[in-house]
Amino acid sequence: MSKGRLLYAQSGGVTAVINASASAVLAQARARKIPVYAGKNGILGILREQMFDTAGLTSSEIKALANTPGGAFGSCRFKLKSLQQDAGQYQRLLDVFKAHDIRYFLYNGGNDSADTALKISQLAQQSGYALTCVAVPKTVDNDLVITDCCPGFGSAARYTAVSVLEAAIDVEAMAETSTKVFVYEVMGRHAGWLAAAAGLAGETAKEAPHIILFPERAFDKAVFLAKVKDTVAKVGYCVVVVSEGVKTPDGKFLAQAEGSVDAFGHSQLGGAAPMLAGIVKDALGMKVHWTVPDYLQRSARHLASQVDLDQAMAVGKAAVELALSGNNGVMPAIIRTSDMPYRWHIDPVPLSRIANVEKKMPDAFIRKDGFGITAACRRYLSPLIQGQAAVPLGKNGLPVHFKPKLPLVKKKLKAWVK
């Protein structure tokens, strides 16, 4: 039996099913008799030597984690630079691992998290410390390469398609005397996967969404306005879905706040919908409503896709097995083998092929006019939103969520100074 502990941590924006991956990690590690610590607020908590001991969780509590959105152990947006630039912080991580006999590190996140796991793996090898690092995929942006999709995306995609479908019915009912244009903004910094998911809400030209604006296509104001005007004339109303990452022809984000960036150094986005609404109102004089679902689209566990839940748990379980088998510096990727019926399996992929690489929407998935999805895109997306992942309901009619209350591991090192 392998010796040492497994350390699991969550990173970046959380999802409706990231705790399902956590649940699978804990259950599989326990089945293999490997003790598990969980970093408080991701890599930041590890630097601070703040880790939860999960030994106190019962089997039923571990199972209940899978029904809870958000990050059970806390997440963070904290990007480590290169091994040379952040040598002190990497050494601190290694010191924490050594002090607590951490031999397996599983980091649940997206591109930046895969990069962090790879660098820690490289440092441990250089230092001669036996540590196996595995990245567990997660992101509603669906922009990790090689893997067919990213856990968290399917549920956000389902929420988006359902929300656009239902909102469009509302708008249609009021269009004659009220709102003519409705703008719905989705997440997606450089890749339009979530915007594309809205396309599942309708199949014909008259069905919403009538316009989808992708980050992969530069925004042309004149063409956009002409499309809106024509749609309202033909259909009676127009539903627009815009990705937060849509850019103008000069490469600037449509809704970029001046000088505003997040902790990863990415431009802080959000606000494309109200900007488009203003453009339509000023140019066409139509009544416009807009919405920015923001966190709602990634936390809606009540609308989670069963396929997404299954995949989130599968990558968590696989990550443990890969780590215990000595597969260092890899990520369990979802490999599609069939569209109808949808079939897939898990394969390990080297992090060197994944870290810092973005998967954008292929041209074949975007309609020629740039305002919708193709049949090929629909074939790709449709299987990912299938099935309603059940959520237990309490006596008050609300979902029952489990939030673990665990003790922090006793510190063995001096306080970390950033």
Q: Annotated catalytic sites, by residue?
A: 141
Q: Is 136 left (phi over 0), alpha (psi -120 to 50) or beta?
A: beta
| b/e code 302-340 from CB counts within 10 Å (16+ = b) | bbbbbbbbbbbbbbbbbbbbbbbeebbbbbbbbeeeeee
Could you give the CA distance from residue 79 to residue 43 in angstroms, rounded to a whole number?
Answer: 9
Query: What are the residues whose beta carbons fall under 8 Å from the beta carbon of 388, sequence distance 6 or more?
Result: 303, 304, 305, 306
Residue 318, both tokens: 């696989």
Q: Which two tokens stand for residue 108?
A: 């649940």
Residue type, 75: S
Looking at the DSSP bridge assignments, the partners of residue 290 are 183
Q: Which tokens go with 87?
A: 């040598």
As a whole number of angstroms, the distance between CA 103 and CA 205 comes to 55
Amino acid in position 73: F
- Residue 209 DSSP one-character state: P
Phi, psi of 99 (to 5 degrees): -60, -30
Phi-psi domain of 292 (left: phi exceeds 0; alpha: psi -120 through 50; beta: other): beta
CA distance linking residue 64 with residue 308, whole number of Å: 17
Residue with tokens 């152990």: 73
In a 13 Å sphere around the CA of 245, the CA atoms on its Cβ side amount to: 20
Residue 112 tokens read as 């930046």
